[in-house]
Chains A and B, each alone.
Chain A
Amino acid sequence: MTETTTGATRATTPTAIQMSGVTVEFADPLGGTKQVLKGIDLTVPAGQFIALVGKSGCGKTTLLNMVAALVRPTTGTVTVGGETPKAARRNLGFMLARDALLPWRTAQGNVEYGLELRGVPKQERRETARRWLEAVHLGGSERLWPWQLSQGMRQRVALARTWALDPDVLLMDEPFAALDVTTRVAVQEEFLRLWQSEQHKTVIFVTHDLGEAIALADRVVLLGEGRVLYDVEVGLERPRDLQTVAGEPRYQEIYNQLRSSI
């Protein structure tokens, strides 16, 4: 089923992420186990933007952590670009609700961090970082420390840091949840613009916000009780205008469906 070998052969619309019969159990404090994911089968084609929604504690972060090889499935298999999640890490971008900027690095230094860990030479690192800061409208702020940046700016630095590694797969865990409404829409637009501007990357986007899920994603998956409760193709035209997309009938339709199954 997963004929793909690397993310580079994206042109043949291969499968980016494949989960079959995945369960995850955690030890609970009483010595027993608690099953958080109960048999997940999910296939994500390369280039798809998939949003993961569901009640708090339903296992969204666990699922994402599994793809990032931070959590091992108890049973079942997960492959990313045909490889094990661990081997696929070099093609992975990861973004969290808190920006996780390193306070002792400037904006520029933070964007360079991932490149540095991967042994990219200094000059190239500099240029790449500067280019991506420019791309998120932070040209000129390279030398500011994180405490000198606003929340929105910090999250945009995190965005640049993720993008600078040119990952094939982007894992995002409520990346904009900590932002106020105005800033959030601005950063969402920034993000969507980056995603649409080039060959599409595969995105798994966890969010609490149904509206955000529908507005941004190609496909919305609703998790509940450790299973996939609902899986829908959004089918709204791209490029989308985040200011008006909520007025579309299709948006309303999906919103209501999700609302009633949650």
Chain B
Amino acid sequence: MTRELEEMTITAPDNATPVREPRRDPAETARRKLARRQTTKVRALQALLLVAWIGLWQVTADQEWLDPVLGKSPGQSWDYFVGAIESGELWTNTKATMAAVVVSWVLASLVGAVCGIALGLLPTVERVISPFLDAANAMPRIALAPMFIVAFGIGMTAKVALACTLVFFIVLSGARAGVRSTDSEWLRLSAVLGATKLQLFWKIMLPVATPAIFAGLRLGLIYALLGVVGSELISAKDGLGQLIASYSSLFQMEAVYAILILLAIVAVLLNQLMVTAERWLLRWQAPADV
């Protein structure tokens, strides 16, 4: 036992310290290699699934299983896609939609996160207004779209407004949940060290809430897309939702399918972007498998 003690106190810092340092551990390197190989396998399976899905779609069209108005082939959608890219139609409308998505997402997330953390710091206020928040959040927001369109016209503002009403509550509840996981000892320590309210906000509450806020941000990004496209479907002067609405009314379903697939791809890319940002910002968290 004495030997162990000496080791703990006297050994040179270099070999005494790195306990779970991932970079230097050969077992860790091997595990990473294995993980990489598994990722490749997953990607291959995903590609296969995609091909199978397109194949099934093709068969559905060939065999005329669906009503001829609905039953369009992947080839027809692709033709529309290529044409619409050449005419610039897709580009301008995607730009319009994405601009609204980004504006509403950033705006509503900022306000939502600050409000959520503030509610965590002010428990009395939280108790007073939380039933109202729940009620507002339960409202089917798409029902507000006509109102916003009347109020703000068919430009970007109405889409942004609708998407904000979705994103705000999602990020708010994430931040609220996050702040609740604050350890009282951190607060006690900070108080004795003389932390101000503002310092508590930046140095304790915000980092504590970050994982939960991120879950909200990710979900919020998708909901921003849904909100904007939903609003465009009802009425807008541009945007992918507006394109879908007008092609639907013309029964050009191949165009509708192509745009829906484009939306899906955009959603996946946005989500990937968030995963990357999250991984970097939350690098202080222990990996789940440790």
Contact = CB atoms under 8 A, between A and B. Distances in A.
Contact of B284 (A103, A118, A185, A186): A103
Given A113-B193, A137-B11, 20 more contacts: A70-B191, A70-B192, A96-B188, A100-B189, A103-B284, A103-B285, A105-B284, A116-B203, A117-B199, A138-B17, A141-B17, A144-B17, A144-B20, A145-B286, A147-B285, A148-B18, A148-B21, A165-B193, A182-B1, A189-B5
Contacts of A146: 284
A68 B192 contact: yes
- The range of chain B's interface size is 35 or more
B284 A117 contact: no
A153 interface: yes
A144 B21 CA distance: 7
B78 to A, nearest CB: 47
Interface of B: 1-2, 4-5, 8-9, 11, 13-14, 16-21, 183, 185-186, 188-195, 199, 203-204, 207, 210, 283-286, 290
Contacts of B18: 140-141, 144, 148
B56 to A, nearest CB: 46
Given A105-B284, A145-B284, A96 B185 contact: yes
B175 to A, nearest CB: 16
Interface stretch (A3-11, A86-94, A203-211): A86-94
B127 to A, nearest CB: 20
Given A137-B9, A140-B13, A190-B9, A117 B195 contact: yes
Interface residues of A, number: 44
A141 B15 CA distance: 10
Given A89-B194, A116-B203, A117-B199, A182 B186 contact: no
Interface in A91-109: 92, 94, 96, 98, 100, 102-106
15 contacts: A94-B193, A104-B284, A113-B193, A113-B203, A134-B13, A137-B13, A138-B17, A140-B14, A141-B17, A145-B284, A147-B284, A148-B19, A186-B5, A189-B9, A243-B2
Contacts of A62: none
A147 B185 contact: no
10 shortest interchain CB distances as A-B pairs = A147-B286, A186-B8, A141-B17, A100-B185, A139-B13, A94-B192, A104-B207, A148-B20, A104-B284, A114-B193
Contact of B193 (A118, A138, A139): A118
A31 B123 CA distance: 22
A118 B201 CA distance: 16
Nearest to A171: B192
A185 B194 contact: no
Nearest to A133: B13
Interface of A: 68-70, 89-90, 92, 94, 96, 98, 100, 102-106, 113-114, 116-118, 134, 137-141, 144-150, 152-153, 165, 171, 182-183, 185-186, 189-190, 243
Contacts of A190: 9
Contacts of B190: 117
Contact of A98 (B1, B185, B194): B185
Contacts of A171: 192
A69 B13 CA distance: 37
A137 B16 contact: yes
Contacts of B186: 100, 102
B5 A182 contact: yes
Contacts of A145: 283-284, 286
Contacts of A105: 284
A179 to B, nearest CB: 11
Most buried by A among B8, B21, B190, B283: B8
A104 B189 contact: no
Contact of A182 (B4, B21, B207): B4
B210 A104 contact: yes
A22 B17 CA distance: 45
Given A96-B185, A140-B14, A183 B284 contact: no
Most buried by A among B11, B18, B192: B192
B203 A117 contact: yes
Nearest to A182: B4
A182 B8 contact: yes
Nearest to B11: A137
Contacts of B290: 147
Most buried by B among A145, A148, A182: A148
A111 to B, nearest CB: 12
A92 B283 CA distance: 32
Contact of A117 (B193, B285, B286): B193
A197 to B, nearest CB: 14
Contacts of B13: 134, 137-141
Contact of A100 (B20, B21, B183, B283): B183
Contacts of B286: 145, 147-148
A149 B14 contact: no
Contacts of A189: 5, 9
Nearest to A150: B19
A165 B194 CA distance: 12
